[in-house]
């Protein structure tokens, strides 16, 4: 993993999560802004997948468990689309809150992936 990219992902996911939580708690239904913020988090996760495939070949191998890392990554990749799909089906304020919770969960998962990649010794 690339450290600066990890922190960008974490902060964007936190910002998107807080934004969606605020919209949901204000009673807003899922809209282009909340779904767009969630889509941005997903786009960064796809970029992270590409980075995770490429960086071991250029001299940055993981120090921790590679299967554990990819389980986190695949799980994180699945969360935003599933939450967005559910938000489009169940169009109420709580769907927007769920989008926020998912973005915050992705932030935690990305940080954990960083810990596995950099700090853990297999």
DSSP 61-75: --SS-HHHHHHHHHH
Each residue's pLDDT tens digit, 80-112: 999 999 999 999 999 999 999 999 999 999 999
Residue 18 tokens read as 């807080």
Q: Would you state the pLDDT for residue 119?
A: 86
pLDDT at 122 over 60: no
Global pTM? Answer: 0.92
Is 45 within 8 Å of 73 (Cβ atoms)? yes
Is 13 within 8 Å of 109 (Cβ atoms)? no
Report H helices in 28-92: 32-54, 66-89
Q: Rounded to an integer, what distance in angstroms lies between the CA atom of residue 111 and that of residue 106?
A: 9
């Amino acid at each position: 993993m690339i450290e600066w990219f990890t922190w960008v992902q974490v902060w964007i996911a936190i910002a998107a999560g807080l934004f969606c939580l605020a919209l949901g708690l204000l009673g807003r239904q899922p809209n282009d802004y909340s779904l767009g913020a969630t889509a941005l988090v997903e786009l960064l996760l796809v970029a992270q997948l590409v980075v995770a495939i490429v960086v071991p070949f250029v001299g940055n191998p993981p120090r921790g468990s590679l299967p554990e890392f990819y389980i986190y990554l695949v799980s994180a990749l699945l969360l935003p689309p599933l939450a967005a799909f559910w938000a489009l089906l169940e169009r109420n304020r709580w769907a927007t809150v769920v989008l926020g919770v998912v973005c915050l969960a992705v932030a935690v998962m990305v940080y954990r992936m960083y810990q596995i990649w950099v700090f853990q010794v297999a």
